[in-house]
Structure 1
Amino acid sequence: MGRRVGWAAAVGCYVIAAIAGMYVLADDAGLAVQVALWVVHGVLLFLGIRKFGARESSSYAALFIVVVSSLAVGVAGMAREDLTLQQRGETVVATVVGERFDPPDGRKGRHSYYTLEHEDGTGVPGPEMRTTSDLYDAGQTVTVIEDPEADLRPQTPGQADATGEVLGAAAFALAAVGSVVWMAWRGARAETATVEAVAADTARREQEERLRAALHTYQADRRGYIKMSPEEFPGLSHSRAARIAWEMGLKAEAFGNRGSWRFSEMVIEEVPHH
């Protein structure tokens, strides 16, 4: 159990490290490289999860972890821009001097884009401010956080709040780690079930041998029956005991046993022993 817990902790740490690594590489690595890295990540996860013992669902678990990990990276990337803007941005009051919309595309939502100027007539640095709906009109003033380096879009203080994205990324990362814990638990359950099944099979075989020995050595009563208590053989059914008796040339009585097992060469009603 201790080794399994240690391995689960190692795989969980690897999942977190992979999310952090892909988050760092997201801006520098191309899409093809990122896809290849996620594929390699999935293969390594599959191999690691198989060691838990729950082999039949390892591939599905690895795929799920890769998907939620990629979502965690994507949402964290969205939060990164907001956090960067909060850290180095400057809050200013700007005026909307231009407005445009995304072209119609079926039922897809259309973003609104706004060109902003400072009160002195200079443009707000960076790309146009973007919103998911038409919120402002030309000539309207709005408080925004601008990026002095002109890399990020200006956003209102409410838009730049990264709390939702951070919580979302954390939730996806937690789901990935939780899947590792779940698979480790399933593997432990499967191992326990296997051990119990082996122990039960061993006990059943021992009881079968004891029953054979008893049928061979016990003396019959005055009515010709060898009488035994079922409690001595808890792992055997009456039909299995009848089968063993049949192999030894005896039959199991099904009538009038009163809680006991009775065996004889001739019986009133024989217990089936398929």
Structure 2
Amino acid sequence: MRLRGIRSSRNVSVRRGSGRRGARTGGLSLAGLVAVLAIGYFTGIDVSPLLQGTSAPTEQSRPATAEEDAAIQFSAQVLTTTEEVWSRIFAEQLGREYAPPQLIIFSAVTQSACGGASGATGPFYCPADQSAYLDTQFFVQLDQQLGARGDFAAAYVIAHEVAHHVQNQLGILPKVDDARRRANQADANALTVRLELQADCLSGVWARSVQGLMERGDLEEALNAARMIGDDHLQRQTGRVPQPHTFTHGTSEQRARWFERGFDSGQIGSCDTFGAQQL
């Protein structure tokens, strides 16, 4: 992704000064711990059997690394592209103003209005403070543990979290949250899948608008990332048979297809996963 000349967004807050310690016991390495917790986050399955005997991470002060500084700059520049894209799309397609989210970039642990956050929770959006949270170590995990390589794969993750903010601005997120609270677990999961696939589609709408910044292979990097974090793929990675009733983000095929749908159309209206009979 060509970001040279793209300014860094001012809507970024960096929380430094924490590291991880005490996360290697019972034969599970730090990288393995991160990978297992990520699988639990993306699939909603119980990973506790894989974590038995593993101690929780504790905080340890340390300076930021050069890799973290590079990830922060990259994230801030990608966020700028989302601000420009969604401001234009809101005006052109909806006739309204877009208010961008904050991006909180942290290392190890932090607090959000939705509760505590750590690298184990993965990137997420908190509607209570209208902020997206991202642990810089997740980019390493995305590449080395999940097999989603390339800078545009990382950009897709940021765009996906911003898409949840778009859903919040459109009033979709609070309606879905209310419906999930009143539903049984299987139905709540099904609603979450539609919410996540819509965010993938909206990420595709963003990607279409930044084609001028894309390099050869960038689109495939995003599609590969969508496939690598599909519920069915991640459950297979744990040695389990995929269980659709536990899915919370959609299958690899669904995630890639909805991203492509948004990319091909460039229209918010094409991302109505809640009105779709077949996902």
Q: TM-score, normalised by structure 2?
A: 0.20
Question: Rg: which structure is higher?
Answer: 1
Q: Which has the higher contact order (CA 8 A, sep 6+)?
A: 2
More strand by share: 1
Q: TM-score, normalised by structure 1?
A: 0.20
